Amino acid sequence: MGNLKTGSTVASDSGRNYKIIKLLGAGGQGEVYEAECEGKKYALKWFFKKMSTDSQREIIDNLVKKGAPDGSFLWPLDMASGLPGESFGYTMALRPQSFKSIVDMMKRRA
C-alpha cells in the first residue's frame, strides 16, 4: 500500500515542496502520510484517483481559502497536486497526541 513513495516530493499550489516521510494510514478516500516542508512536519492526505474529482478539489480548495474556524480543527492548509488528471491532496497539521479519532469517540474511549 502507498501511492506515494517515501522520499518522493509533492508540490503544493502555494509553491512549497513536501517530502514524504512515511505512510500513517489509509481509509476509503485515500491515504495519509507524514510529510516535511521547510523543517516542519505535516500530515498529507492524498486521495485515491477515483476520489480525485473536480468537485472534491473545489470543496477542499474553498476550505483552504476560508481557513479554520479556530485551532480546534485539523483543517486543510495547502492543496497538493500530482500530474494533471491525476490524484491530489492537501496538507494539515499532524494530529497532536491529545486529539482523539472519531473511532475513539464512537467507542467511548475519548
Query: What is the per-residue pLDDT for 20?
Result: 95
In a domain, 85, yes or no: yes
Domain count, the chain: 1
Range of the domain at 63: 9-106
In a domain, 94, yes or no: yes
Count CA atoms closer than 13 A to 94's CA, side-chain side: 15
Q: What share of the chain is helix, strand, coil (3-state, %, to 5)?
A: 20, 35, 45
Query: What is the per-residue pLDDT for 68?
Result: 92
Output 22 or 72, whichever has higher pLDDT: 22
CATH of the domain at 41: 3.30.200.20
In a domain, 26, yes or no: yes
In a domain, 1, yes or no: no
Query: What is the per-residue pLDDT for 83?
Result: 62
In a domain, 46, yes or no: yes
Band of the pLDDT at 80, cuts 50, 70, 90? very high
- Local structure of residue 85 (DSSP, 8 states): T
In a domain, 2, yes or no: no
